[in-house]
Chains A and B, each alone.
Chain A
Amino acid sequence: MLKEKGILFDVTLCVGCGSCYQACKEKNNLPQTNKDFLKDHLSNNTFTVVEQYGKMYARKLCMHCNEPSCVSVCLVGAFNKNVTGAVLYDADKCIGCRYCMQACPHKIPRYEWGTTQPRVRKCTLCIDRVKAGKISACSEACPTEATLFGDMDQLVAVAKKRLKDDPEKYYQQIYGLEEAGGGHVLVLSPVPFEQLGYTSKLSKEPMPAFTMRAMEKIPPVVAVGGVFLSGMYWLTKRKNQIANEEKKTTNGNKEI
C-alpha cells in the first residue's frame, strides 16, 4: 500500500520564481491565466498560486485535509479521500450544488462557471504521478526545495526539526498540521500565518465535527418525535371519544 504523501512548503526557502506554478499548469494542461504569475489567483485553470507579501512568498493550494469538509458535505460523494491522502473529485458524480466550495475552510475549490458542463477544480496532489512512483510536479520543479514532497511522517519530522534547529528563523507553528483537523500540506514561515494570507483562527477540530454534532441528534429526534406524535394522537383521540360518549350519555339521561 502506498504511504500517505504530502507537501511541506517552507516560506523561508521560497524565492518566488513561480516554477511550481508553471509546472502545475503544464502537468494539468491548464491554459495561461495571467502574464504575471504573482498576480494570479486560484481559479478553474489555476490550482496553485505564489503570492507575494513584501519579501516573502506564500504558496496556496488545496490542503488535502485529513477530515475534509468537501468530502463530508458533498451529498453524492463526488469528493473522496484517497489512500495517498489526496482529496479527489469525480466530475461524473457531481450535481453542481457547490456546497463543497461554500464549506471548504481554506476556500480552495473553484468552479468552471463558463461552461454548461461545469466541474469543480482543484489540486489533486498529483495523484497520477504519485501512483507512478513520482513526486508532484510542483515539488519536482522547485529549485530550492521550498516545496518538498514525501511521506507524511517524514515531512512532519523534517518540519519539527527545522523549527527546533532554527527557532530564530521560524514562527513556532506548523501550519496545516492541526488546523481544521490537519491535512497533507504543511507550511513553515518566519511570521504568523495570517500575515501571509493563510486562513487563521481555524479550530483544531475537523470542521465536519461541527455538522456531526447536529446530525447525531437526528435519530433520537426521529425516534422520540415519532413516539411522541403517535402517543399524542392516541391520547387526544381518546380524550375526544370519552368527551363525546359522556355527551351522549347525558343526553340519554335527559331524555329519560
Chain B
Amino acid sequence: MKTNEILKPTFWKVVSVMIVTMGLFSTYFRFSRGLGATTNLVDTAPWGLWIGFDFLGVGLAAAGFTIAATVHIFNIHKYEPLVRPAILTAFIGYSLVVCLLVVDLGRPENFWHPLVMWNIHSVMFEITWCIICYTTVLTLEFAPVVLEKFKLKAPIKFLKIISIPVVIAGVLFSTLHQSSFGSLYLIVPGRLHPLWYSSLLPVHFYISCIAAGLSMIIFESYQTARAFTEENGFHNTGLKMDILSGAASVVLIALIAGFLLKIYDFLNNGKLIYLTIPSTETYLFYLEIVVGTIVPIYLLSYRKFRKDKKWLYIISICVISGLILNRLNVSITGLAASSGVNYFPSFDEISITLMLVVLAIFAFKLVVKNFPVFVGEEEYEDTVNGKSANESKQIILSE
C-alpha cells in the first residue's frame, strides 16, 4: 500500500485515532492513580465492564477451537478456509482479554503470581492456566502462516508433526475455560439473579460460545469479503457460501441445544415464575433470549435464509449480540440487585475498552492484509482434492 493511501484521512481513521489517544490517557491515569480514581467499581460491585468484556471476548473467540476440531480432528476439510480466520480471531481476542485483565488487576505487577502460587481449588486459577496454555496453542497454530511468509521450512515441518496433539490440547483447554467462566459464578447463588444462576451455568456458557464463535466467523468472512472484492462475492477469499451455510447449521444446532437446556433448567428449578416478574432483569433476559436465540433459530430454520449471504450476516449479528447481552447480564446486570448499587462504567473504563477494541480490529486487518489468512481459491481447491496438499500453502491445515 502506498503511504499517501495510509495517511488519507477517512471518517473511521479519525475516530480510531481519537479513541486510541483517549484510551492511552485513560491507561496512564489508571496505572498512576489506581482503580478507585478511574473506575466506578466499589466494594459491593468489585467487577465491572472490564471483566464483563473479558467474558464476551473469550466467548466470541470460541471458533478457534471448534473449527480447528472440525477440520483436523473430524477431518472435514471443506471447512479449511475458515481455520485461519478463526485462529486469528481467537488469538487477537485472547490477547485483548489478557491486556484487559492486566489493566483490571489491582496489583498488575503481580500478574505472574499464578504461575508459581497455586490454588487448584480456584476456578480462577484454572481459567488463568487454560488461557495461558490456549494462547500458546493458538500461537503454535498460527505460526505457520507467519513462517510461510518468510519461507522458513524447518519450523513449519516441526509444527506440522505436532499439529494434531496441539489441536487436541487446544480443544480441551477451550472446553475447560469456556465453561469455567460460567463456573466462576457457581459460588454466588445468593447474588446472581436466578434468571441466570444455574448449576448448569458452565454448560450454558459452553454451548453459547460455540454458536457465537461461529457467528463471529460468518460475520468476519462477510466483512472481509466485502473489503476484498468489489462484487459482493467471496471470490478472492476461498470462502464459499456452502461453507458458511454449513457453519450456520452448526450455529442453529448449538442455539437449539442451548435453548432446550434453558427450558429444562427453568422447568426443573421452578424458575418460570421469574419470567413474569416485571423488572429490568426480566426485560434484559427477554431481550437476550429473543435477539440471541429465538430470532436466529427462526431465521436459520429456513433454508432460504441459511443460503443467503445478507441474511446470514444479519443472523450472525443477532447471535453475537445475544452472547454479548448474556455475558454482560451475568457479570453486571444479574449482580446489580444484590449488590445494591447501580454500577455503570466510568469514562476511563469505557475508553480503555474501546481503545483495545480498535487496536484489535486494526491488528486483525493488518494481519489479514499481510498474511494469507483468507486463503485464495486455488489453494483451497488443491487441498480439497488432496493434491499436493503437503506442498501447498496451508501447511498446518491439511493432512
Contacts and interface: CB of A to CB of B under 8 A. Distances in A.
Contacts, number: 167
B105 A97 contact: yes
Given A77-B118, A207-B187, A229-B171, A214 B34 contact: no
B394 interface: no
Nearest to A200: B190
A202 B47 contact: no
Interface in B13-69: 31-37, 41-44, 46-47, 69
Interface stretch (B122-130, B144-152, B250-258): B122-130
Contacts of A74: 119, 122, 124
B50 to A, nearest CB: 11
B386 A214 contact: no
A233 B190 contact: no
Contacts of A98: 46-47, 106
B246 interface: no
Interface string A89-131: 0000111111101110101011111111110000000000000
B164 A97 contact: no
B189 interface: yes
Contacts of A203: 189
Size category of the A interface is 35 or more
Interface stretch (A10-18, A21-29, A138-146, A236-244): A236-244
B32 A102 contact: no
B113 A76 contact: yes
Contacts of A117: 107
A43 B117 CA distance: 27
A221 interface: yes
B168 interface: yes
A74 B120 CA distance: 9
B74 interface: yes
A95 B73 contact: no
B119 A236 contact: no
A113 B393 CA distance: 52
B114 interface: yes
Contacts of B221: none
B106 A96 contact: yes
Given A72-B122, A214-B202, A237-B75, A221 B43 contact: no
Contacts of B386: 244
Contact of B119 (A75, A110, A232): A75
Given A101-B43, A116-B32, 6 more contacts: A93-B117, A105-B190, A111-B46, A116-B34, A207-B187, A233-B168
Interface of B: 31-37, 41-44, 46-47, 69, 72-76, 104-108, 110-111, 113-114, 117-119, 121-126, 128, 164, 168, 171-172, 175-176, 179-180, 183-184, 186-191, 199, 202, 386, 399
Closest 4 CB pairs of A and B: A96-B106, A113-B36, A75-B125, A236-B75
